[in-house]
Amino acid sequence: MTQTTASPDDTGAEVRAYSSREHHLGAVFEAVLTRGPLSRRDAARLTGLSAASVTKLVKPMISHGYLIENVREAGVPGRPQIPLQVDASRHHAVGIKLMDGEIVGVVADLHAEVQSAHRMKYRDTTPEGVVSAIDEMTGILLQRTPVKRERLLGIGIGLGGHVNGATGVVVESPFLGWHDVPLRRLVVERMNLPVVIENDVNTLAVAEQWFGAGSSFPSFALVTIGVGVGCALVLDGQLWRGVSGAAGEFGHMVVDPEGPECHCGKRGCLEAVVGDAAIAGAMSAAAGRRITKVSQVVARAHAGDLDAQQVFTQAGLALGRAIAALLNLLNPPLVILSGEGITASDLFIDALRAELDRDAFSTTAGDCTVLVRPLPDETWARGAAATMLRHGVLRSLSRLTQQVQS
């Protein structure tokens, strides 16, 4: 949890900057959460705080049930250490991933472990219809996993598009056809629970940062390909959202000014070259007949169709070119490649890596691990729950600062 400035929201959070003490509470809690069980000594090492400071900080977290003490470590030289771990049952959150015509939802505990999951279809894409579907989904999940009201932190919602998490407004969501919809306020009014909303790739990055491939890295990028192309950036432990939540619009980086037209109005955007519709369109042009599903192109490529193989090679080159620009700009140690489109990664990864080596500056390609990581829809929903857990726990921990003696 990183020091941040709170902004007005519909969850009732105060409008103020978090103090350094609140920041330190959050840092210790997150260290124990992601790396625990953890001794106070190791927590001090990981957070850069003194051992005395960590001892003071953990006292109220233990007394209020956020942390529990395990059996003393045996056989460790020096003074015996008592490992700390987060009490997973202390809080729960609902996580929702909104997709085109379908919702995936989970209930997760404070370790972001999924306690129940459910999928359901919806047809009404009006704001009222979507809010009703979220309400129905939440009711089903909570029936399956009874959670005491005081232990339910709220609902995290992830969806594709330009989502301003600070204001709770969906600025633009192409698959819903929305512009400037105050989704958080509408859900809060309907359900009377705290709500956070976020771009769905950002929620996936939170899951990877807490418990996935990114947990050992202070900085990493997550790139997703499929119907669209998305990107989330974690920089020095902080999810980077930009001024209005539009950071990471990787899919609208222009990789070919003469390329196909994108739905955003520009030509040659990465999404217009490597997204599902682009793959199907390129194959249709090569085959001389309409092909609508990427799975058909994958099957043809695996059967030896040279045109289909070339479609994926060109997509890999474009993706490699774009990731090289990302490496040149940020020099991250890790890029996670995920999304439904990576089911065809064997057909484009060689071209991607070759283009990456050609276009990346100096040692940036060698500095970075590109990890292909399939993640199911439930992991995206889990990330939405983790986003709510992070928000709610930080707010709850801020109330304990008066119990931390100077």
Residue 282 lies in a domain: yes
250 plus 164 within the same structural domain: no
228 plus 300 within the same structural domain: yes
141 plus 163 within the same structural domain: yes
Q: How does DSSP assign 53-81, residue by residue?
A: HHHHHHHHHHHTTSEEE-PPPSS-SSS--
232 plus 275 within the same structural domain: yes
| Domains of the chain: total | 2
| Distance separating alpha carbons of residues 95 and 366, to the nearest angstrom | 36
Residue 289 lies in a domain: yes
| Number of other CB atoms surrounding residue 349 within 10 Å | 18
Nearest to 195 by CA among 13, 7, 11, 397: 11
| Distance separating alpha carbons of residues 313 and 348, to the nearest angstrom | 5
Residue 30 lies in a domain: no
237 plus 201 within the same structural domain: no
Residue 19, CA distances (Å) to 44, 59, 342 in order: 19, 18, 42
153 plus 255 within the same structural domain: no
* Angle between helix 294-302 and 345-359 (nearest 10): 90
220 plus 193 within the same structural domain: no
158 plus 298 within the same structural domain: no
Q: What is the pLDDT of residue 19?
A: 66
232 plus 202 within the same structural domain: no
Q: Are 369 and 334 in contact (CB under 8 A)?
A: yes
144 plus 228 within the same structural domain: no
Q: What is the pLDDT of residue 1?
A: 36
Residue 126 lies in a domain: yes
- Strand 92-99 and strand 152-159: pairing? parallel
Nearest to 156 by CA among 129, 133, 187, 122: 187
Residue 403 lies in a domain: no
132 plus 117 within the same structural domain: yes
Residue 400 lies in a domain: no
| Number of other CB atoms surrounding residue 74 within 10 Å | 7
Q: List, for residues 46-105, the tens digit of each pLDDT value.
A: 889 999 999 999 888 898 888 999 866 555 555 567 899 999 998 999 999 999 999 999
Residue 11 lies in a domain: no
The parent domain of residue 354 ranges over: 215-375
Nearest to 98 by CA among 139, 136, 123, 134: 134
Q: For the chain, which residues score pLDDT lower than 70?
A: 1-19, 71-80, 401-406
CATH number at residue 304: 3.30.420.40
| Distance separating alpha carbons of residues 364 and 352, to the nearest angstrom | 15
Specify the DSSP element, H or E, that contains 40: helix 40-47
The helices-and-strands tally (H runs, E runs) of the chain is 13, 15
Nearest to 385 by CA among 189, 135, 164, 115: 115
Look up residue 79 and give its amino acid.
Answer: R
Residue 62 lies in a domain: no
112 plus 256 within the same structural domain: no
pTM for the model: 0.86
